[in-house]
Amino acid sequence: MSVKKLKVGLCVLLVVIIVKLNHDSRSLAPTLLQGLTLPLGLGLRRTTRRGGGILTIHSGCRMSKWVYPSSPKVEKYGCKVHPTPGPDISQLLYIPSQLEENDTVFVPLTEVERFVNDMLDGLSTNIVVISGNWMDVEPPSNTAIYKLLTNPHVLKWFAQNLPKYGGANPFHPKIAPFPYGLLEAGTNPIFPAYKEILFGNIQNGSNKTNFIFAGPLGKHGNGKRTSIPQRELMRPRDYFLQMSKSTYVLSPDGDRPECYRHYEAIGLGTVPITELDPFFFRHLGSSGSNGPVIFGNKIWNLTVLENELDPNPFVKRSMIWEDYWMDWVDDVVGFRLHWNTFESGNGLTDFENSLLVLLD
Ligand SMILES: *[C@@H]1O[C@H](CO)[C@@H](O)[C@H](O)[C@H]1NC(C)=O
Ligand SMILES: *[C@@H]1O[C@H](CO)[C@@H](O)[C@H](O)[C@H]1NC(C)=O
Ligand SMILES: *[C@@H]1O[C@H](CO)[C@@H](O)[C@H](O)[C@H]1NC(C)=O
Ligand SMILES: *[C@@H]1O[C@H](CO)[C@@H](O)[C@H](O)[C@H]1NC(C)=O
């Protein structure tokens, strides 16, 4: 793994370094069918409405009907996953006339400027733009964001990490947040380990035997993490297993506020205790509700937290599912948009996809 890759990741990054996989991991196959009455074999129903997968840093690219830029460099912007063949990606956008009414277009945060300059004036249909980036890149200029938002054909702009990328007025009515997602990167063992624990957990049910998990933290956070309880590095599988057994997990900001850990936790039915602003990250729930996220936390003393937190919070685990977010974006916009209709998100099996449907 390159040094550069290490820098892009966010808050759980140090577990990545331990690439030696835990070889005692049991095969899922023998237990897959345990206790489940799923429509297997002939007549297997389409497992998701659109056939999506697990929400990762590549989901914006995969879900949107179009991806800009239109060059082979798309891969560089985090749309594609190694090793190839990776999951399908959306169609590449070359010229504005390719677009139809109500289409979704993924424009990486690094490309917003170019999209605004080269494509915006040519728009003749109403579209929704979605922007994000795996890496901690520079934000688009306020001028570009202003032009994007004031173009009548841009119905809405969804962007990750609004405090950093939302421009001069991140409260603008056309701006909405967009989720970050899990790490999914080629041969990195994190995603396979996560899937193993996630699917095992869906089948066996969750058994929360620990209240708050203070796991290993990377070196992000500008030194403020020294006051946050944490433990030594763990192997990915052990880490996710411990997370799945915990009701809450300490989940401070990464290099940006959003980080993999928030989503890893939600998928495992664990509430992340975050520093997130409840408005800029409103896609994760409204403040004051019982999860799935604790917003704006400033207390990291476990004793104090234990006394204050709801012992039985509800976690909307389906937020780990790409389909959830397509529906969510549709709801924010107010009608159904056109998405990519791929059927192999994250390369999940039909059975794994049918397990995702079971999530609350
Ligand atoms: C776009 O959405 C509007 C609002 O729901 C709808 O009236 C229109 O038929 C849609 N057009 C297409 C091509 O999907
Ligand atoms: C389910 O729980 C049983 C009993 O603890 C365990 O042996 C099995 O490996 C678990 N299955 C999965 C898929 O995690
Ligand atoms: C949950 O885990 C505890 C401790 O490992 C165990 O005693 C208990 O039987 C488990 N409950 C369920 C419902 O699996
Ligand atoms: C955490 O809070 C408790 C109760 O207020 C206090 O007794 C304890 O010293 C605190 N622990 C740390 C590490 O600050």
pLDDT digits 0-9 by tens, 277-297: 999 999 998 644 445 899 999
Question: Are 311 and 194 part of one and the same domain?
Answer: yes
Q: What is the mean pLDDT of the chain?
A: 81
Nearest-CA residue for atom 11 of ligand 4: 301
Ligand lying nearest the CA atom of residue 104: 1
Exposure b/e, 181-190, CB count within 10 A at least 16 = b: bbbbbeebbb
Question: Are 233 and 292 part of one and the same domain?
Answer: yes
* Per-residue model confidence as pLDDT tens digits over 159-201: 999 999 999 999 999 999 999 999 988 778 999 999 999 999 9
Q: Which residues contact 193 (CB under 8 A, 6 or more apart)?
A: 21, 22, 25, 235, 236, 237, 239, 240
Q: What angle do CA 53, 59, 63 make, to 5 degrees?
A: 80
Note whether residue 32 is domain-resident: no
* Per-residue model confidence as pLDDT tens digits over 63-115: 899 989 866 666 555 566 543 444 456 788 889 999 999 999 999 999 999 99
Helix (H) or strand (E) holding 307: helix 302-308
Question: Are 73 and 175 part of one and the same domain?
Answer: yes
Residues 176, 154 contacting (CB under 8 angstroms): no
- Residue 298 token pair: 């400033």
Question: Are 307 and 341 part of one and the same domain?
Answer: no
Other C-beta atoms lying within 10 Å of the C-beta of residue 17: 11
Note whether residue 21 is domain-resident: no
- For range 40-62, the mean pLDDT: 62
Question: Are 296 and 277 part of one and the same domain?
Answer: yes
Give the pLDDT score at 73: 61
Note whether residue 52 is domain-resident: no
Ligand lying nearest the CA atom of residue 206: 3
* Per-residue model confidence as pLDDT tens digits over 195-250: 999 999 999 887 899 999 999 987 765 556 778 999 999 999 999 999 999 999 99
Please tell me the total count of domains within the chain.
2
Give the pLDDT score at 354: 82
H helix runs in 205-301, sequence order: 236-244, 260-267
Predicted TM-score (pTM) of the model is: 0.84
H helix runs in 106-161, sequence order: 112-118, 142-150
Query: For the CA atoms of 40, 349, 93, 70, what is the dihedral angle to 10 degrees?
Result: -170
Give the pLDDT score at 72: 61
Question: Are 194 and 313 part of one and the same domain?
Answer: yes
Question: Are 162 and 194 part of one and the same domain?
Answer: no
Question: Are 302 and 195 part of one and the same domain?
Answer: yes
Least confident of 20-29, 45-54, 161-170, 265-274: 20-29
Note whether residue 206 is domain-resident: yes
Write out the residue range of the structural domain in which residue 177 sits: 59-183+320-346
Note whether residue 352 is domain-resident: no
Question: Are 192 and 306 part of one and the same domain?
Answer: yes
Residue among 304, 306, 307 to mutate when testing ligand 4 (max atoms within 8 A of CB):
304
Note whether residue 49 is domain-resident: no
Question: Are 91 and 162 part of one and the same domain?
Answer: yes
Question: Are 226 and 163 part of one and the same domain?
Answer: no
